Amino acid sequence: MRRVLVKVGGRWEGGWDVEGSRHVATFSNRPFGESRVFPMANKTFTYEYPDTSPRSLSYECSETELLNTSVENGVPFLYANRAGMLTLAKILIKLSQGACENGFHLHLRRNFGDDAATPDVLTILLDESSDR
């Protein structure tokens, strides 16, 4: 798989070339090199939590969070609603800011379920090695 950029009629399009079949999404309808300004609203995200690392990582969720994964044409996809994305973000914050050691990992089930009989949809591993 490789990244491709194509200039089509004065605009750039790009996507991924997967095994010879080009998947292209339009980046912009403006001429290449033309500046584009986006209005931005400043937002603040504050998250306070008890740090239970390095041995465990806990997270809270209700029944509104959706999370699932699949692999399509060799590309992993993560499907989540906003509540699920926020829960996943909080998990990643705890993992990145805590005292977890290299190799610490956690298994997530569909919709953050706790039924051990259901398969994992995502495994998150802290990998501090420099050889990747």
Residues 71 and 120 in one domain: yes
Residues 39 and 71 in one domain: no
Residue 32 burial (CB count, 10 A): 11
- Single out the residue of 34, 1, 41 nearest to residue 18, CA to CA: 1
- Whether 131 is covered by a domain: the verdict is no
Rounded to two decimals, what is the model's pTM? 0.64
- Whether 121 is covered by a domain: the verdict is yes
Structure tokens at 32: 């290449």
Read off φ and ψ for residue 78, nearest 5 degrees: -115, 120
Poorest-pLDDT segment among 36-40, 72-76, 127-131: 36-40
Poorest-pLDDT segment among 21-35, 89-103, 112-126: 21-35
Residues 73 and 39 in one domain: no
Query: Could you tell me which residue, 6 or 65, shows the higher pLDDT?
Result: 65
Q: What is the DSSP letter of 47?
A: -
Which domain range does residue 98 map to?
67-125
Distance CA 65, CA 112 (A): 7
pLDDT tier at 87, thresholds 50, 70, 90: very high
- Whether 3 is covered by a domain: the verdict is yes
Q: Per residue in 13-38, pLDDT tens? A: 555 444 544 444 444 455 555 556 66
- Whether 58 is covered by a domain: the verdict is no
User: What is the domain count for the chain?
Assistant: 2
Distance CA 59, CA 83 (A): 13
Distance CA 20, CA 44 (A): 43
Number of H helices, E strands in the chain: 1, 7
